[in-house]
Structure 1
Amino acid sequence: MRNLSRRVGLSAALGFGLVMPPWSSAQGKPTAVTVREGQPTVLNGKVQGYTGPSYLVHAEAGQKLQVSLQKLKGSTLFNVYAPGVEPGQDAIFRGDVGGDVADLNVMQAGDYRIDLFQMRASARRGAVTNFTLKIALQR
């Protein structure tokens, strides 16, 4: 009976891990990026498998947050989250729907999170994709 309960517990834990989005736990701690109004910041990096970078950008209400992604090949995407919203919750911009350019009106001051990731098929293969991310704030 004891072994059966261990197996059930282990199966439940493994099953739970399979349902979670692969990038939800692979992002790690976000890197704070300083972006001055009218002076875009350009970041270069890579996404490997399920692991991609995550950035925090502080924006004030009334500004426009512009994020654009350039990639040479591969299926790298990005999501943008409002202050206080974590990956796995509703993104205010989803790259799989909106494409490679986000043009967002900032309604709430705070730190906006930008997560980069690959489509699941590429991530599963462990593909590596290089990217250039341009982040700008305007009035």
Structure 2
Amino acid sequence: MNALPAIAVLCGALVLTSTPASAAGQLARHMTELSGAPQTKTMRGKLRAHDTAEYNIRLRAGQSLTVTLKTNQRSNYFNVTGPGEGDALFVGSRDGARYSAKVAQDGAYKISVYLMANAARRDERANYTLKIAVKD
């Protein structure tokens, strides 16, 4: 895969990179906290069928993470997975469109935005806004 990452900096503390979609229809976006909190970042994106957008953010134990999804598609959700975890801490299709908690351990947390299989099979699309807020 030809990787041509684009880098943007928010408030000197967050870096957002984007890689092109692979042949399998996966879309990945990565966000990493470099230093300091509080930080709030709002991303807008589009998904189609089996695309998945992934945002990674590095957090310290005790920081608060709040994630909110607004979308035009009823089958568009996000999950939050902790460092080294196989199972999601938050499953949007079960738990809703907002996650808020203090993180238990240092590390990279992954936020995956996706369409449910029913919408993906119908080749549906979603426009979404994902707001990620980190506080000490």
Superposition TM-score tier, normalisation by shorter sequence: 0.7 to 0.9
Q: Which stretches in structure 1 are left out of the alignment for 5+ residues?
A: 1-24
| 1:26/1:93 CA distance change after superposition, 3 Å | farther
Query: Normalized against structure 2, the TM-score is what?
Result: 0.74
Contact 1:48–1:123 (Cα < 8 Å) also in 2: yes
For each residue in 1:35-73, what CA deviation from the matched residue of structure 2 results, as whole angstroms up to 9, or x when unmatched? Answer: 852231000001110112111011110101110000123
Contact 1:76–1:119 (Cα < 8 Å) also in 2: yes
**Runs of 4+ deviating beyond 2 Å:** 25-30, 32-36
Q: Which structure exhibits the higher relative contact order, with contacts defined as CA atoms closer than 8 Å and separated by 6 or more residues? A: 1
Q: Which stretches in structure 2 are left out of the alignment for 5+ residues?
A: 1-23
Residue equivalent to 1:38: 38
RMSD over aligned Cα atoms: 1.9
Match of 1:125 among 122, 125, 130: 122
Higher strand share: 2
Task: Give the CA deviation at 1:33.
Answer: 3.9
Larger radius of gyration: 1
Match of 1:105 among 98, 102, 111: 102
Amino acid at match of 1:114: I
Residue equivalent to 1:58: 58
Query: Normalized against structure 1, the TM-score is what?
Result: 0.73
Amino acid at match of 1:65: L
Give the share of equivalent positions with the same residue, in percent.
33
